Amino acid sequence: MVKNLQDTTTLSNGVKMPWFGLGVFKVEEGSEVVESVKSALRNGYRSIDTAAIYQNEEGVGQAIRESGIAREELFVTSKVWNADLGYESTIAAYETSLQKLGLEYLDLYLIHWPVEGKYKEAWRALETLYKEGRVKAIGVSNFHVHHLEDVMKDAEIKPMVNQVEYHPRLAQKEVRAFCQEQGIQLEAWSPLMQGQLLDNEVLQTIAQKHNKSVAQVILRWDLQNGVVTIPKSTKEHRIIENSQVFDFELTAEDMEAIDSLNQDRRVGPDPDNFDF
């Protein structure tokens, strides 16, 4: 059972990844991202998830340097954007991300979306970076089962992580089962459905019972389902509150009630018909 903010899951290659981190999607470059990352690190977070397309890697890097926390204690993730998918262009994109972050390596590098005809070459580039020891772990984001199967058909190295939209309205049962079976760690983006679940009555009832917020109940549900979670917030009190999910446990009935909210409803694009 996950006991605290620094607890980790062990990826298929033995690398330890925190169960809980801070996502910085839509957090503005400059003081906003610097301050939110610094408050997360100050309050015990050790995992930060960014991406080239978020255009805030420089601020994330600045916050890491200013935090004074040793690099090896941190787990930093970034992602290669669709326009850069290809063998050489993915390697170049990795260099650019490192440069912006001011880091010598990433803990996890992901292909952001499965752009047809492009993601296999990008995966080959990630394998090269991994084999050269330039990144600790590699994975994908927004991949359905058929994308994973397609990559794995030719891959030398299996993806270690699949980061997908995941929340009580989108339980991703098929993807989750496949990833469990294959030893691929599932990770949730938009775990709070961008705030759309906070007034849900089922979740409010469970939250009252445990004397917790709806957000805390959802994040606890992620963890009890074996899913790494990276809620985003720019407010320090919310960053702290989100992480206070280690002092209670949802019952089997709670978990079933939350599971029953699934409607396969997305707030983001469907990877199968996203206009890349």
pLDDT in tens, 70-99: 999 999 999 999 999 999 999 999 999 999
Going through the chain in order, the beta strands assigned E by DSSP cover: 8-10, 16-18, 22-23, 47-49, 75-80, 106-111, 135-141, 161-165, 185-189, 228-229
pLDDT of residue 264: 96
For residue 276, is pLDDT > 80? Answer: no
pLDDT of residue 2: 87
| Number of neighbours of residue 238 by Cβ within 10 angstroms | 16
105 assigned to active site: no
pTM score, whole prediction: 0.97
> Which one-letter amino acid corresponds to residue 107?
D
Percent of the chain exceeding pLDDT 90 equals 97
> Which one-letter amino acid corresponds to residue 178?
F
Task: Tell the residue number behind the tokens 């890491």, with chain if given.
Answer: 64
Banded pLDDT at 106 (limits 50, 70, 90): very high
Could you tell me the two tokens for 95?
Answer: 């260099």
For residue 249, is pLDDT > 80? Answer: yes
User: What 3-state class would DSSP assign to 84?
Assistant: helix
Mean pLDDT along residues 184-197: 97
Mean pLDDT along residues 116-132: 97
pLDDT of residue 46: 98
Supply the angle between the helices 252-259 and 214-224 in degrees, to the nearest 10: 100
pLDDT of residue 275: 76
